[in-house]
Amino acid sequence: MRNSLGCAPLSGFLLLSLFGSGVATAQTYPSKPIRFIVPLSAGAADTLSRTIGAKLTETWGQQVVVENRPGAGTTIGTELAVRAAPDGHTLLMATFSHAVNATFYRKLPYDTLMDLSAVTLVASAPNVLVVHPSLPVRSVKDLVALAKSRPGQLNFSSAGNGSSSHMGGELFRSLAKVDIVHVPYKGAAPAMADLLGGHVHMTFDPLPSSLPHVRAGKLRALAVTSGKRSGATPEPPTVAEAGVVGYEISGWSGVLVPSGTPKQIVGQLHGEILRIVSLPDVKDRFTGLGFDTVGNTPDQFDAFIRSEIAKWGKVVREAKIFAD
């Protein structure tokens, strides 16, 4: 007997064998050390990955090795993850740039949506619009007025083309209707170093890395870029509250695995990472760094990535800021 698709139905024995095989795969996972790729140099995503990796090691008894593989706007590390065996022993900490790159790069060595599977969105954090204290502005309104009086003379640094700090500046330029100049760097550290040194005027930096400098008085925070104020530093208003209507951008980090990784293993990873980010000590650590912990389902994270690709693809196309 054949079913409506013209295929013979599986026997009960074969169905049981297939199901049992899937269970066995999950039960024996992990069977060796896990490689956790961070496609960036040391920074916020690296901290999240190392915190989660240490907890996974404690629970599973297998070493989780965090490997920083920065370069080409996170595409080098991402390609390494895509090419890895889909057995759950390679994880990728994807970030905001992962969604931007789908449009920013005209040609990628992988398919952003098809070659990776979502596990969970781990955390999000707003960027913060910070200026060097020498700039004579105390608010977003002051900055917009100054920029309009000096078109093309104010600049903003970023961690590189396609980064959240770059997109934050492009969105600000578009919505505030100001002519500010983008100065890309090879990473967040040199971009911040030049801002601290007064060589550039401002940046739209992830809050976790800027917050220590703001607290030390080395930078002035004008506004956060998210839709609501930050719990880590509630004083600065949002950019939208400060007058740039419709402005919103937040950095995020979440775990992906190579496409084809068994669903049982994805489920096991998902459950364990959600447990970890719910631990009081982990939540306190993330909050202290300026993060909001998330922890959603694989389907929710997949839908989120698709929405981010659509949103930032529009910004990239309208600003004509392609990588090649």
Q: What is the DSSP string of 257-291?
A: EETT--HHHHHHHHHHHHHHHTSHHHHHHHHHTT-
Q: What is the mean pLDDT of residues 215-242?
A: 92
Bridge partner list, 256: 92, 118
Q: What is the mean pLDDT of residues 295-308?
A: 96
Confidence of residue 22 (pLDDT cuts 50, 70, 90): very low
Does residue 92 surpass a pLDDT of 90? yes
Say how far apart CA 119 and CA 99 lie, in whole Å.
Answer: 15
The pLDDT of residue 10 is 40
> What is the pLDDT, as a whole number, of residue 27?
63
**Percentage of the chain modeled with pLDDT above 70:** 91
Decide if 116 contacts 94 (C-beta within 8 A).
yes
Q: Average pLDDT in the 166-178 region?
A: 94
Confidence of residue 15 (pLDDT cuts 50, 70, 90): very low
Confirm if 55 and 294 have CB atoms less than 8 A apart: no
More confident: 126 or 77: 77
Same fold, 30-125+251-319 and 126-224: yes
| pLDDT one-digit tens code per residue, 250-280 | 889 999 999 999 999 999 999 999 999 999 9
Is 58 a residue whose pLDDT tops 70? Answer: yes
Q: What are phi and psi of 175, to 5 degrees?
A: -80, -35
Encode burial over 46-64: b for 16+ CB neighbours within 10 A, e otherwise: bbbbbbbbebbeeeeeeeb
pLDDT band at 324 (very low <50, low <70, confident <90, very high): low
pLDDT at 232 over 90: no
Count of all residues that appear for the chain in the document: 324
pLDDT per residue over 116-126, tens digit each?
999 999 999 88
Q: Which fold has domain 126-224?
A: D-Maltodextrin-Binding Protein; domain 2 (3.40.190)
Average pLDDT, the chain: 89
Return the domain boundaries, the chain.
Answer: 30-125+251-319, 126-224
* pLDDT higher than 80, residue 137: yes
Q: At the fourth CATH level, which superfamily is domain 30-125+251-319? A: Bordetella uptake gene, domain 1 (3.40.190.150)
What count of other Cβ atoms lies within 10 Å of the Cβ of residue 109?
A: 13
pLDDT at 234: 84
Model pLDDT, residue 161:
84
Place of tokens 């370069």: 71
Strands 64-68 and 34-38: parallel
Strand blocks (E) in the chain:
34-38, 64-68, 90-95, 116-131, 155-158, 181-184, 202-206, 220-224, 250-258, 292-293
Over 70: is that where the pLDDT of 164 sits? yes
Using a CB cutoff of 8 Å and minimum separation of 24, what contacts does 273-282 make? 273/52, 273/56, 273/119, 273/120, 273/122, 274/120, 276/51, 276/52, 276/55, 276/56, 277/52, 277/122, 277/123, 279/55, 282/51, 282/55
Whether pLDDT at 19 is above 80: no
**131 contacts 276 by C-beta, under 8 angstroms:** no
At residue 9, the pLDDT reads 41
Confidence at residue 194, expressed as pLDDT on a 0 to 100 scale: 96
**What is the rounded distance in angstroms from the CA atom of residue 212 to the CA atom of residue 219?**
9
